Amino acid sequence: MKKGILLVNLGTPEAPTKKGLKTYLNQFLTDRRVIDMNWPSRYALFQGIIVPIRSGKVSKLYQELWMDEGSPLKVYGQRVADGVQQALGDDYHVELAMRYQSPSIESSLKKLRDNNVSDITIFPLFPQYASATTGSVFEEVMSLIRMREQIPNLRFISSYYDHPDIIKIYSDHARRYNLADYDHFIFSFHGVPERYLKKENDYCKCDGQCCRTIIPQNNMCYSAQCHATAYAIAHELNIAPSDFTVSYQSRFGPERWLHPYTDEVLEQQVKKGNKRILAFSPAFVADCLETTIEIGLEYKEEFMEAGGEKLDLVESLNDDPAWIEFIAKMVA
């Protein structure tokens, strides 16, 4: 019997329109793992206020990002799924799913069932574990599978943040640039509220020190895994600790998120005389709104206005054959 492989990314609007964004954001922002407010408050705040306001603005940004074939996240995701299928051969059946929107996890699990797979490996397309991403994917898979009369063997791969192969791929992408041309390097990860980490683990203090080294007490901590990824890439590229900064982006709302914040770090680096920056976004495996637009356009514009000279962004893994080979190796 075939073995099933389910590759899962976060999700993307069906179209770069206000309606498409509204549908996507309604689903995304009402997930309790993304926003942990009680349901009535979460629903009223986001569907009543934030989604109507943000959908128009964000849809214009997606229009800049959109590829001829569609959303980059889905386009690259399908190319990767097809590549993994080819690498693994007929003994496997590979499906791509999105936690929000299509192809849905439910529809992809149905395709795996229709192909009579004997077991399923869940491979989230997030190198670092976070409750709002990997945790939400696992919860959705289990909530759907538990409704079946016949439950297949399940295997969950929760993270691969410091796997030597993934570190080499990110590093090889950076080697496309002349590293000697830059004054400083920034590893920018998607932010989460500090409170989310503290409620999951009493060890997490979010003080900039507790997450610098992976130990048994913090091995599932998102921030600790982000630091481990950054330090591993820096080591591979012979970048000294004093020459790079780990930071976080994409925050919203009034509460304190993981810090330092990427936009503030960029401003500080200009003041220090570091005007040529190479940025990494190793929380993302495909170029998307947070990489191409947020860092590549918005942060870059702010950086240049503050006196910076050059801000380049290392491309994501996208459909790199080495990335496809890595996934095939991990799930086989």
268 domain residue, yes or no: yes
Are 16 and 63 within 8 A, CB to CB?
Answer: yes
Residue 100 forms part of a structural domain: yes
Alpha helices in the chain (DSSP H): 18-29, 39-45, 51-65, 72-88, 105-114, 136-145, 164-174, 194-200, 222-236, 262-271, 300-305, 321-331
Cis check for the bond before 16: say yes or no (omega within 30 of 0).
Answer: no
pLDDT computed for residue 63 by the predictor? 92
- Asked if 139 and 198 sit in the same domain, the reply is no
User: pLDDT class for 261, splitting at 50, 70, 90?
Assistant: very high
- Check: CB of residue 150 under 8 Å from CB of residue 116: no
Confidence at residue 233, expressed as pLDDT on a 0 to 100 scale: 98
Question: Would you say residue 282 has pLDDT above 90?
Answer: yes
Q: Is the residue at 170 inside a domain? A: no
Residues 104 and 193 in one domain: no
Looking at the structure of the chain, the number of domains it has is 2
- Asked if the model's pLDDT at residue 207 lies above 90, the reply is no
pLDDT digits (tens, 9 = 90+) for 109-156: 999 999 999 999 999 999 999 999 999 999 999 999 999 999 999 999
Note the pLDDT of residue 300.
Answer: 97
Kindly list the strands in the beta sheet with 153-156, ordered across the sheet, starting from the edge strand earlier in the chain.
92-100, 3-11, 119-124, 153-156
Domain extent, residue 112, equals 3-160+321-331
For 298-316, how does the pLDDT look when each residue is reduced to its tens digit (9 = 90+)? Answer: 999 999 999 999 999 999 9
107, part of any domain: yes
Residue type present at position 177: Y
Where residue 108 sits, what CATH number does that domain have? 3.40.50.1400
Residue that has been written with the tokens 């005389």 in this structure:
273
Tell me what percent of the residues of the chain surpass a pLDDT of 90. 77
Note whether 94 and 196 are same-domain residues: no
Q: Are residues 230 and 113 in the same domain?
A: no
How high is the pLDDT of residue 29?
77
- Specify whether 102 is located in the same domain as 19: yes
- Check whether residue 188 and residue 133 sit in a common domain: no
pLDDT at position 26? 79
Q: Is residue 171 part of a domain?
A: no
Asked if 197 and 295 sit in the same domain, the reply is yes
